[in-house]
Structure 1
Amino acid sequence: MAHILSAVAGSQQDVVPTTRALISVSDKTGIVDFCKFLASKNVHLLSTGGTAKKLREAGLEVMDVSEYTQSPECLDGRVKTLHPKIHGGLLGVRGNKDHEAQMEENGIGKIDMTILNLYPFEQTVKGGGDFNQCIENIDIGGPSMLRSTAKNHAATTIVTSPDQYEEVQKCIEENGGTTLALRKKFAARAFSLSAAYDSAIANWFTNQLGEEKPVTTRVYKPEFPLKYGCNPHQKPAGISSVLNSKLPFDVLNGVPGYINLLDAANAWQLVKELREATGLAAATSFKHVSPAGAAVAVPLSDVECVAYEVTPEAAKELTPVALAYLRARNADPMCSFGDFAAVSDVVDEATALILKKEVSDGIIAPGYTPEALTILKSKKGGKFIVLEATKDYDPGQIEYRDVYGMTFAQKRNDIIITKDHMTEIATSKKEAVTDSVVRDMIVASICIKYTQSNSVGFAKDGMMVGVGAGQQSRVDCVKLAGRKVKTWYLRQHEKVLGLKFKAGVKRQDRVNARVRYIEGDFTPEERIRWEAQFEEVPEPLTTSEKEEFMKQADGITISSDAFFPFRDSIDHASKYGVSYIVQPGGSVQDKQVTAAAEEYGMAMCMTGVRLFHH
């Protein structure tokens, strides 16, 4: 009982000075400066191999582990640190009389700190090599020292990453040693690192056996807490990275929320793929994990300038990325209210000025000019979210999702729709599929790839003009998106363009008022408030006027994330000026659907690629 009490008493010691440190690192970033600091505090340095050599070259006094243990490295380096003088020095309980007596009897000195990092196993074997070569790359001594040090964190400090060096130095400077709080925190991280390392080996080993159900362990590193999840009552919430990886973005401004980050992740992938597939600057406007709009940089027509409240002079000054976002936002500006934006290129001042006047939550982009960043940081009283996408981020081939106690795994949908998918034309209008049509097919298809399924999207002139998301039947997707197409097109009607608003009516209120004018189904109370926004009460836009104007609509492309099961979707799409169809095909009704497209004079492309997204 006395021994237990001694151990417990030792575990309560807060600050522990460091007198001897064991160093063995594969990532030598910052290790020389850190060890110089330790040496300045009279810490005795033990080390192995390449680490010892590097420290000596820097002028530091280092003792080799083999000299300390009086036992040479053997078995081709398999045994170096697996020795009682190493693990006894790490595991001995300070204040336990029996432990201290045994350490004295066996010449075991206390080791107060271990500095090591484990080379990620995935990278170790990434270059190939046969089974036996990979087995030889499995580290035994490193994880053993890591676990011994972390277990005895009551007295020993485990340091596993260069990003911890500064914190250790500060702690020692301020306290004369490491605190219990720091040792506990570092021990927790060390055990997580050990778990990730072992899981990588286990997954690789099982896959080598050809088993269909490999063991999978994923270890996460909490990055920052979120205010709440999807809803305020869903607490706690947070965002984590896979250990030994990083997030696909850096937060430059603001505090992102749960849905913000879901939008950002999907939106960034969409614009990145559009840029790669078309070679044009791309943008999207996201709401609730589906795009309200998406576009590439195609010049505006004169009537579009009026409809989108852009002067001809201002239009000429638009940069490609600003033009892409302007189009994306104007696909469905009512739904884009409070959006999360994404652009494929560095955000310039012209783009930032457009965002400044819109109601928006945040943006993700590959970078920002200093002028643009200053503008965006001042938006929403400094709360506008600015994320910088990580260059060349690798999300891995397999993605995982936890739902109701189950973990789903699938290969990431990394196929990028390009012009090469637009070669199989099922109808007789092959000559109608020009380069600009192929561009619109690509824009629409990549957009719906990131739209909650079932989904269809309509595109024209490099921009989405109607997106129908999450409907249970495909024809309902077409009807939903078609209603948005009709609204988009009628926004260019001369009556809509001629609405005379009172001075001071806000931009979004003007947007909403135009949409309600087009829809026309006011309640009596609503009409009173709507009419109060105008200098002159507008004459109604009649049904016959709408129908006559819609007859002019043409050249629109519709893309579907899965095959059209019946011709009803084609029949309905014909009401909105659809001239081109792109879809995966593969339905037993393909002949019927193709016949319907022929009847309406539509060119239809079958890609063979389904794009469900949930």
Structure 2
Amino acid sequence: MKDLTLRYGTNPNQSPARVYMQDGSDLPITVLGGSPGYINLLDALNAWQLVRELKQVIGQPAAASFKHVSPSGAAVAVPLTDILKKIYFVDDMELSPLATAYARARGVDRMSSFGDFIALSDTVDVPTAKLISREVSDGVIAPAYEPEALEILKKKKQGKYAVVQIDPAYEPQLTETRQVFGVSMEQRRNDRIVTREDFANIVTKKKDLPESAVRDMFIAWITLKFTQSNSVCYVTDGQTIGVGAGQQSRVHCARLAGSKADLWRLRQHPSVLALPFKEGVKRPDRDNAIDQFLQPDVTDEEKKNWVNVFTEIPKQLTAEERRAWLDGLTDVTLGSDAFFPFRDSIDRAAKSGVKYVLQPGGSNRDEDVIAACDEYGMTMVFSGLRFFHH
């Protein structure tokens, strides 16, 4: 297929729109179901690069959940605990390794993943297709699909669900070009693969870097490589648990990602696991109710709406209960796509269990940031490599 006509571009008024190869060659993608849009394909092509590289360097099936050209979650196939199965709403399913990776990527920030575009590193199997079929999603990109899995996905959204297959052998040209306001810009594409050597320069007093932290640094670094800058992410247990993307201030990235990491941790609190949902309340409504339940500033007027989802009004966590539970989050890796100009991001990270830090280094205040990590007993790596993405 030489080109693909799209319904419209970024917005409905931006028509006509199409996708094609500038050199006249065939597209590396095939649409097997539905009709992907312009933004869908932006998400798909960015997300595919992320999961492809994760699989390449870690060797496990990988998944990403993308919204507006940034990941709301990314993960590899680390087995799930019973608690994670419950908060990810997959405790009633048999999960393959690929389905496990997507359950993690989707489950970490379910509100942001609502209506996501999915990228999967491996052939989509039936367990993964069944999981996708019951979530609100716009589409999926993968290198191949099992026949039964494809039939499941083609039935989603009355046949309108976008199912895209990409040629896993496809490699783009080394030079990439884009237009902005009629002006063409050209650069070498970011084909620099993340390697173990990127984590060799440990600059803090504490030097220990276990293999689990190395794995999580790979996930952080590759996730940031395909996240809109400025960006910061928190990673643990083989998955992102908070992504802060597209903020102008780096500490705001750290705060945003940290608040998402905190919510992920708080969703595992016994009081959340025991919330008295009414029978028949759908998963998206549960996600919204849990998110509101965990906000400390919910008004009595807002709580009145809880009668629609709960059999009784639950008692929220106190500030002391929240802090005590959050203090149980440990061994988290913090990644940043560019250097930290101040120690404030480290101070924020310490509140969310960060033990390992990955950043390029190169700030005039590097020594202040190193000192902050030393105060908290963190291990920090300078990669020497910036990963902006726009």
Settle same-fold status: TM greater than 0.5.
Answer: yes
Cα pair 1:325 1:351 within 8 Å, conserved: yes
Q: Which residue of 1 aligns with 2:348?
A: 572
Alignment of 1:125-164 (within 5 A): none
Letter in 1 for 2:68: H
Q: Which residue of 1 aligns with 2:25?
A: 245
Cα pair 1:298 1:462 within 8 Å, conserved: yes
Letter in 1 for 2:221: S
Shift of 1:543: 1.7
Aligned-partner SS, 1:417: coil
Q: Which residue of 2 aligns with 1:54?
A: none
Cα RMSD after superposing both structures: 1.3
Alignment of 1:10-409 (within 5 A): 223-311=3-91, 314=93, 317-409=94-186
CA distances 1:14-44 after superposition (whole Å, capped 9, x unpaired): xxxxxxxxxxxxxxxxxxxxxxxxxxxxxxx
Q: Which residue of 2 aligns with 1:483?
A: 259
Aligned-partner SS, 2:357: strand
Cα pair 1:278 1:418 within 8 Å, conserved: no
Shift of 1:520: 3.9
Shift of 1:523: 4.4
Aligned-partner SS, 2:372: helix
The 2-side partners of 1:414 and 1:361 are apart by: 28
The 1-side partners of 2:346 and 2:247 are apart by: 17
CA distances 1:373-430 after superposition (whole Å, capped 9, x unpaired): 0100000111110000113112110000000121010100011213221111111222
The 1-side partners of 2:326 and 2:298 are apart by: 22
Aligned-partner SS, 1:558: strand
Structure with more helix by fraction: 1
Runs of 4 or more, structure 1, over 4 Å off, are: none
CA distances 1:307-348 after superposition (whole Å, capped 9, x unpaired): 22333x74xx42111110000001101100000000100000
Gaps of 5+ in 2: none
The 2-side partners of 1:557 and 1:332 are apart by: 17
Shift of 1:524: 4.6
Letter in 2 for 1:485: A
CA distances 1:565-595 after superposition (whole Å, capped 9, x unpaired): 1111111111110000001111121111111
Q: Which residue of 1 aligns with 2:247?
A: 471
- 2:216 matched to 1:440? yes
The 2-side partners of 1:294 and 1:546 are apart by: 26
Shift of 1:525: 4.5
Q: Which residue of 2 aligns with 1:419?
A: 196
The 1-side partners of 2:307 and 2:195 are apart by: 47
Gaps of 5+ in 1: 1-162, 164-220
The 2-side partners of 1:422 and 1:319 are apart by: 31
Letter in 1 for 2:32: L
CA distances 1:447-493 after superposition (whole Å, capped 9, x unpaired): 11111000000000000000000111110100111110111110001
Aligned residues: 390
Q: Which residue of 2 aligns with 1:516?
A: 292
Alignment TM-score, normalising by the size of structure 1: 0.62
Task: Select 1:535's aligned residue among 284, 297, 311.
Answer: 311
Identity %: 54
Structure 1, 416-425 or 323-332: larger mean CA deviation:
416-425
The 1-side partners of 2:299 and 2:5 are apart by: 44
Aligned-partner SS, 2:222: helix
The 2-side partners of 1:467 and 1:342 are apart by: 17
- 2:329 matched to 1:549? no
Q: Which residue of 1 aligns with 2:370?
A: 594
Alignment TM-score, normalising by the size of structure 2: 0.97
Shift of 1:606: 1.0
The 2-side partners of 1:531 and 1:546 are apart by: 24
- 2:283 matched to 1:507? yes
Structure 1, 534-543 or 281-290: larger mean CA deviation:
534-543
Letter in 2 for 1:352: A
Q: Structure 1's 259 and 367: CA in aligned 2 closer, same or farther, altered over 3 A?
A: same
Q: Which residue of 1 aligns with 2:205?
A: 428
Letter in 1 for 2:56: E
Give the number of the structure whose alpha-carbon radius of gyration is greater: 1
Q: Structure 1's 305 and 250: CA in aligned 2 closer, same or farther, altered over 3 A?
A: same
